[in-house]
Amino acid sequence: MKAIILAGGKGTRGKPYTEYFPKAMTPINGKPLIDFVVQYLSEFDFINEIVIISDFDGLGGQIKNYYQKPKIKKKISFVQDSQSGTGGDLLHIENKLKNDSEFILWFVDNLCAIDLKKMYQFFKEKNSSACIATRTKRKEETGFAIVENGIIKQFKEKPTMNLPMSECLGIYILGKEVMKRIKKKEKQKQINLSFDILQDLSKEGKISAFDIGDNQWIDAESPAVLERNYKDVKKIIKQMGF
């Protein structure tokens, strides 16, 4: 099975930092963000190749330079971002996926020690076309208060909240049905995986949700977010084995 890392985003939330390096190269403890993802994926035996999609003609070239010397035993390959949306990027690597019935898709700004083996088993058990990692708990970054009749009774500093809906993470397992649906829309200039493909599949009951439970996850959108949540980041990368 291949693992695809999408690392071609423009990093608009990470400016001004991402004007000088891609979000994937955001430093964490002396290593770039993407290397934590690559190293983590390489630990799963059923993953035989890691494909990184980015704008290698632009700032993404820094990623390719970083991996010039082998750092892991798994094969790493690089594909130029097609600039045609998340679905378009997958269509762009159709030939690479032709011998795979399923593959993992990991958006590079996701940090989580998710058990991909259990997620894959869940995906198969549900006989789904796609499986998305989700969570129903979230640690808030601000303080809350318990209010009764306009009077604050108690403060809750950065509590962990139960969410009314499941929050979707950028970690997917996708089957052949997804690629077939993308192929049907190949004439579109932009194909958004979520809105153009997964939305319809969800209405057909073909997408399963793998809840990460008590595992922490962070959207590593910018160096500022990582710095502000450094304790959580440190905990996550420890859970990932670093």
CATH number of the domain encompassing residue 74: 3.90.550.10
Could you give the number of structural domains in the chain?
1
**pLDDT value of position 8:** 79
Domain limits at 99?
2-239
Instruction: Identify the band that residue 72 occupies on the pLDDT scale cut at 50, 70 and 90.
Output: confident
How many angstroms from the chain centroid is the CA of residue 150? 41
Contact 136, 166 (CB under 8 A): yes
Task: Write down the mean pLDDT value for the chain.
Answer: 91
pLDDT exceeds 70 at position 9:
no
pLDDT exceeds 80 at position 115:
yes
**pLDDT value of position 11:** 57
CA 116/CA 215 separation, integer angstroms: 13
**pLDDT value of position 15:** 67
pLDDT exceeds 60 at position 90:
yes
The encoded tokens of residue 220 equal 């590593």
**pLDDT value of position 10:** 64
CA 183/CA 50 separation, integer angstroms: 22
pLDDT tens per residue across span 180-229 = 999 999 889 999 999 999 999 999 999 999 999 989 999 998 888 899 88
Check residue 41 and report its DSSP letter.
Answer: H
Residue type, 139: K
